[in-house]
Structures are given as structure tokens and as C-alpha cells.
Amino acid sequence: MDLNIKYLGLTDYKSCWASMKIHIEKNPKSDEIWVTEHNPIYTTGLNKRESKLPKSSIPHLFVDRGGKITFHGPGQIIFYFLISLERNRLSIRQLVSGIEDSILLFLKKRKVVGELKKNAPGVYIDQKKIASIGLRVKKGFTYHGVSLNVNMNLKPFLDIDPCGYEDLKMAQLNEYLPEIDQREIVKEVLEQFKNKFRSLNEK
């Protein structure tokens, strides 16, 4: 899989979401990862059942990814996967597992122990969630992706049940890697994504 990487900087969530949908409608010939951060916003995915909506001045938006409610803000790196599953002979489960494995390998190289939880997608450290995954498939293409907490304000998570789990604690990388530069994180995580999906294509 040849991946084109687009660095978008700080973006408005709603505009970025609209851009992803427009991109997919064009039946793109290349696979892309968009790297961004968002202005503060809560989003709730397609699984709205029993979601606890925040009483907050922070905007909230219902969106079309999988999963329940989460928070996005500056200091959280988001990797959006605009991938053709058919062209790459991947299932959505393989893609999710590949994303999780890549983040686990990044953490391991940095001597941080990450873990997975059964029936709770994402990556955890010390039982606290550090990476959340929510995807959508349309016309054989994926969009949305994974958010990685790096150096952000975690307080807005206290006003929700993150990803629908009551009392779920959130973590971020600066608690474990205080000296690491955000640009290094992006570079190293992207390298793991590329290696992982290259190996999946070869199977």
C-alpha cells in the first residue's frame, strides 16, 4: 500500500469531515492518511444509544463514524484513513487491528507498555485510554480514523463517558514521554502505519 500523507495542521472538525466525504465520492486512486488536530469539539458516532451528552459550552456534533462520544482538541493528533479496502484486499477488522498494532509498536519502541481490551477498540496504558478509533466504510473506502492523545486538555473528558464507558480514564503521551516532540510522534507513528500495511499487502 502506497500511502500519501497530508499534513493539515489545526482544522475545524465539520469542514474536515465534509472534505473526507467529498474525497471518497471522487473514487480516489490513491490511499491517504490525513494528519490533523481539531479545535475543541465533542463528537458522537453512530452508536448513540445511552450516550451521555455533555453540559458544556464546547460544541457537540453527531457524526457518521463508528463508536460513541469522544472529545477532540489541540494536542490530540488525529490520523484519518482514506483507504480502499478492496484495492488493498483488507477487511475493516484488519485495518482496525493494523492501526492498533502500529500504535502498540510505536509505544514499545519508546519503552512504553500499551495494551488492548477485548470488545473495546483502541489502545490503553495502565488501563487508561490513549488512542481511540472510529471508522466508516462507504463505497469500499474508509474514512475517519484514530485519535492519539499527546499533550491536550483532558478535563472535557470528565463531562462524558468516553467511548460510552462510564468511569473510563484517559491518558496522554506526555505523561510517559515528557521530552518527546510532537513532530517526532507523527513521524514515528506514520512509519509504523506504513510498515504494517505494507506487510498486510504482502500476505
Model confidence pLDDT, tens digit, residues 68-79: 899 999 999 999
Cα separation, 124 vs 106, in Å, equals 13
Backbone angles phi, psi at 50, to 5 degrees: 60, 25
- Banded model confidence at residue 161, pLDDT cuts 50, 70, 90: confident
Q: Is the pLDDT of residue 16 over 90?
A: yes
Contact between 73 and 40 under an 8 Å Cβ cutoff? The reply is: yes
Q: Is the pLDDT of residue 175 over 70?
A: yes
Mean pLDDT of 169-198: 94
Q: Does the active-site annotation cover 16?
A: no
Model confidence pLDDT, tens digit, residues 142-160: 999 999 999 999 999 999 8
- Residue identified by cell 514499545 is 108
- Banded model confidence at residue 202, pLDDT cuts 50, 70, 90: low
Catalytic residue among 20, 104, 125, 163: 163
Question: pTM for this structure?
Answer: 0.94
Within 55-159, residue ranges assigned H as helices are 92-109
Domains identified in the chain and CATH numbers: 3-201 (3.30.930.10)
